[in-house]
Amino acid sequence: MKKITVIFAALAICLCFSIGISAQKRASTVNLNVTIDDLVSQGAGIRSDGQGTYFNGQNSVQAQLTEYGWFNFVSGTRIVNAVYSTPVEIGATLPTTFDSKTNVNIKTFVTSLKFQDMTIGQSQCVGMGVNISFNDAAQTVRTIGYRGGRGVITNTAWVKVTHSDNNTWILEPTPQTDCGVADNSNDSIARIRDAKTKGKTVADTDYGRYYMPFRLTLTRQ
């Protein structure tokens, strides 16, 4: 009888473990094609290379809604441009007026709801980073952070995500009042920082906040 009791106890533990794993089940990944709307960022912001949509699996492009429900994009051999505006505050200024790089990584986080679970017409606000690698000796990464990155981020823009139809998600850092913010003074505002990721640890270089609009359309592949 004691042996049977032990067996049932073991089965109960296995069942509880299985239920726990099931409850934590991740979403199915969704492959995407990504379009950057250059009309939104004519003067400044995140721009494409002028070659149209970035197709997942072509030119080493990676674009997915991950199993965690986030958006993750790597531009592969194609270029993404960052055109910088005048800084919002007086202080450190970027050493260049624009960056034009391959393998640019754009990813979201602080997601309250997996993108895959959003209903048609539903919106949510998330953090996002545009990460530009320089492949120098210190492996410097420049992050254009929208409620993301290190340092003070509360005075930057949330990125509003709208699931406009079954196959489409639209990302744009405006309007902030749709994200529960009192006003729209931080619409499209991002903080730009450089971090050295290799060698001796040094403090990040903070270039302050810039007006950096963009509009990304994610289409199910």
This prediction has a pTM of: 0.87
Tell me the C-alpha distance between 159 and 115, whole Å.
Answer: 13
Tens of pLDDT along 54-87?
A: 999 999 999 999 999 999 999 999 999 999 998 9
Tens of pLDDT along 172-202?
A: 999 999 999 999 999 999 999 999 988 788 8
pLDDT at 24: 52
pLDDT at 58: 98
Contact by Cβ (8 Å): 204, 194: yes
HSE-up of residue 206 (Cα within 13 Å, Cβ side):
14
Contact by Cβ (8 Å): 128, 148: yes
Percent of all residues in the chain with a pLDDT value above 70, rounded to a whole number: 89
pLDDT at 46: 98
Domain boundaries, the chain: 28-220
Average pLDDT over the chain, rounded to an integer: 89
Task: Phi first, then psi: give them for residue 158, nearest 5 degrees.
Answer: -70, 155
Query: Coil, strand or helix: which one is 179?
Result: helix
pLDDT at 19: 37
pLDDT at 15: 37
Q: How confident is the model at residue 18 (pLDDT cuts 50, 70, 90)?
A: very low
pLDDT at 17: 37
Instruction: Look at residue 9 and tell me whether its pLDDT is greater than 70.
Output: no
Tens of pLDDT along 81-129?
A: 999 998 998 888 899 999 999 999 999 997 789 999 999 999 999 999 9
